[in-house]
């Protein structure tokens, strides 16, 4: 007798998450849609950093520099050469990926500590380097990017569903969401096949991976290139979303924000960058608004949050994550699900000395 196989629970969760993000702009203002666009852009950049840090084991503290390269590539092509912005997104992504791949070649000779310092130095000098060719990059003034209006087809479809007119921010949100879905699908396939397995083997032990016939140098530089490709895409989308780029848009704190998002969400996981990006983007905003309004808190706490800004929130959340969830939010959820599943199976089969078999394999 044939049996009907149902989709694993994780596929249903993915479907619900996609439906949630698609319907989000229909129930919020245009301003909030732009805020969520920024969070999704961070998720794309964090996914790229996750491939480098979580899967291949190479620490980078300068991914904000690759975002800046992608953003300025698109901004220059749009502003000076009048190219359509959607066309510049893959161009910026590929160009940044090539630069990241070339940067990964000399990085092979660096130990993890010196690699972190080298990428941190890259993030520090990037704003100064952007200011030098002022005729090309606009110098300290930056480049103004005109945001496109929604296409008529998309605007009509949106109006038919919601009864309201689609704004530019809502259209940009869907562009960002579309790019994020494609890139996350590519990352999922990468992690499931040979490149992902090879990167994890290198992360766990380079000597053992080399002895197994894995091209360590090739996969490590490939990880840098793919990671920079994601960061360049995120930078291009960032320029489209904000409509303006300048050297001050990409400070060192941006690279720290990306690393915090990767660690908080959970390294070497696909949903982790989304959760980490939401926390990394909205936590400073929420803390700066909520903490000063609490009269029961000491004045020293409220003044510290006001003056230090996101640094206090990032520091506090990192301490809590390292203490109670060293594998990030995804690791915490998986551990909770495993404990709950074992207890439920034990209650449902109390007389059996063995755990019941997995229903997906029955």
pLDDT (average), residues 126-144? 91
CA 69 from centroid of its chain's CA atoms: 17
Give the model confidence (pLDDT) of 31-68 as tens digits.
999 999 999 999 999 999 999 999 999 999 999 999 99
CA distance to 29, 67, 330, per residue, from 327 (Å): 35, 26, 7
Alpha-carbon distance of 93 to 66, in angstroms, equals: 10
Calculate the average pLDDT of the chain: 87
Residue 286 in this model has a pLDDT that exceeds 90 = no
Alpha-carbon distance of 317 to 5, in angstroms, equals: 41
Alpha-carbon distance of 211 to 200, in angstroms, equals: 14
Select from 30, 20, 23 the least CA-distant residue to 165.
Answer: 30
Give the model confidence (pLDDT) of 179-235 as tens digits.
999 999 999 999 999 999 999 999 999 999 999 999 999 999 999 999 999 999 999
Select from 123, 131, 170 the least CA-distant residue to 149.
Answer: 170
pLDDT class of 14 with cuts at 50, 70, 90: confident
Q: Which percentage of the chain shows pLDDT scores above 70? A: 87
Give the model confidence (pLDDT) of 138-177 as tens digits.
998 999 998 888 999 888 888 888 888 999 999 999 999 9
The total of other beta-carbon atoms located within 10 Å of residue 186's CB is 15
Give the model confidence (pLDDT) of 317-340 as tens digits.
778 777 888 888 998 888 888 888
Residue 2 in this model has a pLDDT that exceeds 70 = no
List, in sequence order, the alpha helices (H) in the chain.
Answer: 9-23, 30-50, 63-81, 85-107, 112-131, 134-137, 152-162, 168-192, 194-204, 206-211, 216-242, 252-265, 272-290, 299-308, 310-324, 328-348
């Amino acid at each position: 007798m044939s049996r009907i196989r149902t989709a694993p629970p994780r596929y249903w969760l993915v479907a619900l998450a996609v439906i949630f993000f698609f319907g989000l702009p229909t129930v919020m203002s245009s301003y909030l849609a732009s805020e969520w666009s920024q969070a999704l852009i961070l998720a794309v950049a964090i996914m790229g950093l996750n491939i480098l840090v979580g899967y291949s084991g190479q620490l980078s503290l300068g991914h904000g520099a690759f975002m800046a390269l992608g953003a300025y590539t698109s901004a220059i092509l749009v502003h000076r050469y009048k190219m359509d912005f959607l066309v510049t997104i893959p161009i910026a992504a590929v160009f940044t990926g090539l630069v990241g791949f070339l940067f990964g070649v000399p990085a092979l000779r660096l130990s993890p500590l010196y690699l972190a310092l080298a990428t941190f130095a890259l993030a520090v000098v990037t704003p100064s380097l952007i200011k030098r060719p002022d005729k090309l990059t606009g110098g300290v003034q930056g480049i103004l990017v005109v945001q496109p209006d929604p296409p008529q087809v998309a605007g009509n479809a949106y109006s038919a569903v919601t009864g309201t007119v689609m704004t530019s921010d809502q259209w940009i949100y869907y562009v960002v969401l579309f790019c994020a879905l494609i890139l996350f699908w590519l990352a999922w396939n990468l992690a499931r096949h040979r490149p992902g397995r090879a990167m994890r083997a290198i992360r766990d032990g380079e000597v053992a991976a080399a002895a197994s016939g894995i091209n360590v140098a090739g996969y490590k530089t490939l990880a840098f290139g793919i990671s920079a490709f994601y960061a360049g895409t995120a930078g291009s989308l960032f320029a489209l979303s904000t409509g303006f780029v300048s050297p001050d848009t990409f400070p060192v704190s941006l690279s720290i924000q990306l690393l915090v998002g990767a660690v908080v969400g959970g390294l070497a996981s696909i949903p982790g960058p989304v959760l980490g990006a939401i926390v990394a983007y909205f936590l400073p905003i929420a803390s700066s608004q909520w903490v000063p309004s609490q009269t029961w808190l000491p004045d020293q706490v409220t003044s510290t949050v006001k003056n230090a800004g996101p640094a206090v929130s990032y520091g506090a959340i990192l301490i809590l994550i390292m203490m109670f969830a060293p594998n990030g939010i995804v690791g915490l959820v998986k551990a909770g699900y495993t404990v709950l599943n074992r207890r439920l199976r034990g209650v449902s089969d109390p007389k059996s000395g063995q755990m019941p078999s997995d229903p997906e394999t029955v």
